[in-house]
Chain A
Amino acid sequence: MGFMEKFFGLSWGIHPEDHKRPAADAAVRVMPTPERLYVSLAQHLGAPALPAVLVGQKVAKGDLLANPRGPVSAAIHAPTSGLVAAIGEIPAPHPSGLPVLAVTLEADGQDAWSEALAACADPFALPPDEISRRVAAAGVVGMGGATFPSALKLASSRKAKVTTLIVNGGECEPYLSCDDRLMRDEAGAIVDGIRLMLHASGAKEAIAGIEDNKPEAIAAMRQAAAVHGEVRVCPIPARYPLGSEKQLILVLTGKEIPAGRLPGDAGVVVHNVGTAKAVHEALRFGRPLVSRLLTVNGGAVRNPGNIVVPVGALVEDVLAFAGGCATEPARLIMGGPMMGLSLPHARVPVVKGASGILALAGAEAADHREEACIRCVSCVRACPMGLLPLEMARHVRGGDLEGAAKLGLRDCIACGCCAYVCPAHIPLVQYFAHAKGALAAEERARARAGAAKKLAQAKSERLAREAREKAELAARRKAEREAARAAEAASSARSAKSAAAAETAAEGTPA
């Protein structure tokens, strides 16, 4: 295989300790629905969904809670049956701890599926657009963490005439094993989902890239895909960040996606194995995405493993179900240790994109106590994008955000390789995240200023127009007045004349 040599010719990426094993081998547990669920309305990339229920309304499991708003958005469904207790702000599963709008569900304990769900015996008979529509109706989003609405991706890949569907079974983040577990346990469902996505996107073949540290998953997927020629399982070397879209495409197809373009432009589209499973569920059983398999792991967790969790369950409850914590966690993370979000506290809800909940014990959690950069260029060698992290951080540190942008800040995928290898413990990703945020804020300010300038111009034009109109009006009035006066004068003159005439006449008449 040509791409293998190409891969080994490259030197980017890192080999972190994976910490996957005890958790990956444990059987999947299903978490019972907790009493209250907090279903966030911003669980996907794009605009938050618009609530479609009222407080006090009774819903069944799988009923629509919120409609997508705008072109990039996704529907949200009830993870269990019960009562809508509130629609309001709750802390978001995000480092900032800022509020997010959410629907609070009070579970009735029945967990009864909605009657309205339509199963489909032969979804391959459906036209591709119908499949995309149903996937959209089921609120499926990318399960790898990016949470891009999947239906949109399927429809646009059809438009872009995509030929290859890449299924991401890389799961290169340490600690996480939910995709591994899913592939081992439900390879058949995944392969079915892949074939449905092939049908919907119009791609000819599917390549499932699975890292070679998951031999069981590779075997299971190979077995499930054996009867379907269009689905190929392709082991890839275990290396972080191979699960990243651009890197995965490069390794599997040798194609390099141009900066600022989408994989679709190169005839490729990437979906996660979890998404394939969700598509399968949506099409075969009409079931929307209301729960997900996630990994609970980390040194502080007493009983690590993979758990099926309803969307909206609190992290606190999930950890408690997993057996609680053996020690005080030093850090709570949603997602993997490389790119996951640190949580402000445990009372935040699980969202569709949460691939893991990690409670790291003291020694595991990297504490970036920054020392001076010695320019050892470990970060340059680790960077999968070919950037110069040390130079970018130096510019951000010095306040020169534009300089950092010129060095390629916008190409950074925030994979964290640089900060992972940095011997000076510099929080490089934090520098970049800060700079990206600050640049975006500047961009917004510029757009705002442009809009304000237009408004100000509009106002001054309006004022000028009003003044002109007023002047014109005044002039017209004046003209009218004068005309009136002139007329009056004329008439008065006339009347005076006539009066005079009358007078003279009167005078003429003998008194």
Chain B
Amino acid sequence: MIAASLSLTILGAALGLVLGIAGRFLAVEANARVAELESLLPGTNCGQCGFPGCSGAAAALAEGHAAPTCCPPGGRAVARALAEKLGVSLDLSGVDDEGPKLAVVAEDLCIGCCRCVKSCPTDAILGAPKQIHNVLREACTGCAACVEQCLTEAILIQPVPVSLPHWVMPRPAAA
């Protein structure tokens, strides 16, 4: 009885010691991952994921509180990159990626209040007080942060119109 408990105790202690030493030598710092994850996110801090900005989302992803599909503006591409970094398998069926989107100002509704201009994370809205605002196509990410700000509901999120060089051949219909 004594021999049994003693030998198991010694065995356990010895193995624990070895593992403790190994753990000291093979330590991996954990903070690097959050930064890596954040670099994959759009960085516009639009807040559609429900976390405080992209860094908040990255922290939640690293801790496993958020799914790789949490970023709506990022679409499938970001979801795939995140899943790869996290090493998890991915169910893309929940992601509705209808292609890139764009904010469009309805000119007859805009009153030129400049609220949207301030809310835009990428400075994509041009406008001066009392003048109709305009969206810069190149800079708009379609994050929809401006939509809630608009008092007259003059901002619509629309898919980016397809042009000839950007046309994508449709997938063959399933047989």
A157 to B71, CA, bound (A): 47
Q: Say whether A433 faces chain B, with CB atoms less than 8 Å apart.
A: yes
B28 CB, nearest partner CB in chain A, Å: 27
A444 to B77, CA, bound (A): 11
B74 near A449 with CB under 8 A, answer yes
A370 to B92, CA, bound (A): 26
Of B9-17, B18-26, B57-65, B121-129, the one touching chain A: B121-129
Q: Say whether B45 faces chain A, with CB atoms less than 8 Å apart.
A: yes
B175 near A370 with CB under 8 A, answer yes
**Chain B facing A: main interface SS:** loop
Q: Which residues of A contact B169 (CB under 8 A)?
A: 95, 430, 433-434, 437
Q: Mark B56-81, 1 if CB is under 8 A from A, else 0.
A: 00000000000000000011111010
Q: Which residues of A contact B99 (CB under 8 A)?
A: 441
Looking at B43, B75, B162, B163, the one whose CB has the most chain A CB atoms below 10 A away is B43
Q: Say whether B166 faces chain A, with CB atoms less than 8 Å apart.
A: yes
Partner of A434, one of B74, B121, B163, B168: B168
Q: Say whether A442 faces chain B, with CB atoms less than 8 Å apart.
A: yes
A452 near B42 with CB under 8 A, answer yes
B173 nearest CB neighbor, chain A only: A370
Q: Which residues of B contact A42 (CB under 8 A)?
A: 164
B81 CB, nearest partner CB in chain A, Å: 9
- Interface range on chain A: under 10, 10 to 19, 20 to 34, or 35 or more? 35 or more
Of A107-115, A313-321, A454-462, the one touching chain B: A454-462
- Interface range on chain B: under 10, 10 to 19, 20 to 34, or 35 or more? 20 to 34
A232 to B57, CA, bound (A): 66
B170 near A98 with CB under 8 A, answer no
Q: Which residues of B contact A120 (CB under 8 A)?
A: none
Q: Give chain A interface residues in 369-420, CB to chain B under 8 Å.
A: 369-372, 396, 399, 402
Q: Which residues of B contact A98 (CB under 8 A)?
A: 162-164, 167
A457 to B174, CA, bound (A): 44
A451 near B163 with CB under 8 A, answer no
A438 to B168, CA, bound (A): 6
A371 to B174, CA, bound (A): 10
Q: Say whether A448 faces chain B, with CB atoms less than 8 Å apart.
A: yes
A456 near B172 with CB under 8 A, answer no
B138 near A445 with CB under 8 A, answer no
A349 to B162, CA, bound (A): 21
Q: Which residues of B contact A446 (CB under 8 A)?
A: 77
A428 nearest CB neighbor, chain B only: B172
Q: Say whether B44 faces chain A, with CB atoms less than 8 Å apart.
A: yes
**Given A371-B175, A445-B100, A459-B121: A452 and B141 interface contact (C-beta under 8 Å):** yes
**Given A98-B162, A437-B167, A441-B166: A427 and B172 interface contact (C-beta under 8 Å):** yes
Q: Mark A450-477, 1 if CB is under 8 A from B, else 0.
A: 0111011111100000000000000000
B149 CB, nearest partner CB in chain A, Å: 15
A430 near B43 with CB under 8 A, answer no
A372 near B175 with CB under 8 A, answer yes
A459 near B172 with CB under 8 A, answer no
Q: Say whether A481 faces chain B, with CB atoms less than 8 Å apart.
A: no
Q: Give chain A interface residues in 74-123, CB to chain B under 8 Å.
A: 92, 94-96, 98-100
Looking at A426, A434, A448, the one whose CB has the most chain B CB atoms below 10 A away is A448
A456 near B164 with CB under 8 A, answer no
A94 near B164 with CB under 8 A, answer yes
Q: Give chain A interface residues in 144-200, CB to chain B under 8 Å.
A: none
A412 CB, nearest partner CB in chain B, Å: 13
A430 to B123, CA, bound (A): 39
Q: Which residues of B contact A427 (CB under 8 A)?
A: 172
Q: Say whether A368 faces chain B, with CB atoms less than 8 Å apart.
A: yes
**Given A96-B164, A427-B172, A437-B169: A448 and B43 interface contact (C-beta under 8 Å):** no
Q: Mark A215-247, 1 if CB is under 8 A from B, else 0.
A: 000000000000000000000000000000000
Q: Which residues of B contact A396 (CB under 8 A)?
A: 171
**Given A452-B43, A453-B42, A456-B43: A444 and B166 interface contact (C-beta under 8 Å):** yes
Q: Which residues of B contact A402 (CB under 8 A)?
A: 80
Q: Which residues of A contact B8 (CB under 8 A)?
A: none
B161 nearest CB neighbor, chain A only: A98
Q: Which residues of A contact B42 (CB under 8 A)?
A: 449, 452-453, 456
Q: Which residues of B contact A456 (CB under 8 A)?
A: 42-45, 121-122
Q: Which residues of A contact B170 (CB under 8 A)?
A: 430, 434
Looking at B44, B80, B124, the one whose CB has the most chain A CB atoms below 10 A away is B44
Q: Give chain B interface residues in 104-130, CB to chain A under 8 Å.
A: 120-124
A438 to B124, CA, bound (A): 26
Q: Say whether B139 faces chain A, with CB atoms less than 8 Å apart.
A: yes
Looking at A396, A451, A455, the one whose CB has the most chain B CB atoms below 10 A away is A455
Q: Say whether A431 faces chain B, with CB atoms less than 8 Å apart.
A: yes
A456 to B141, CA, bound (A): 10
Partner of B122, one of A368, A431, A459: A459
A448 to B141, CA, bound (A): 8
Q: Give chain A interface residues in 350-374, CB to chain B under 8 Å.
A: 368-372
A452 to B74, CA, bound (A): 11
A213 CB, nearest partner CB in chain B, Å: 31
A302 CB, nearest partner CB in chain B, Å: 32
**Given A456-B44, A456-B122: A368 and B100 interface contact (C-beta under 8 Å):** no
Q: Which residues of A contact B92 (CB under 8 A)?
A: 399
A368 near B164 with CB under 8 A, answer no
A369 to B173, CA, bound (A): 9
B166 near A455 with CB under 8 A, answer no
Q: Which residues of A contact B162 (CB under 8 A)?
A: 96, 98
What are 13 A-B pairs with beta-carbon distances under 8 A?
A98-B167, A431-B171, A434-B171, A438-B168, A441-B99, A444-B166, A445-B77, A449-B42, A449-B78, A452-B121, A453-B43, A455-B122, A455-B139
Having A98-B163, A456-B45, one finds 12 other A-B pairs with CB under 8 Å, namely A96-B164, A96-B167, A368-B172, A371-B175, A441-B99, A446-B77, A449-B43, A452-B139, A455-B121, A455-B124, A456-B122, A459-B122
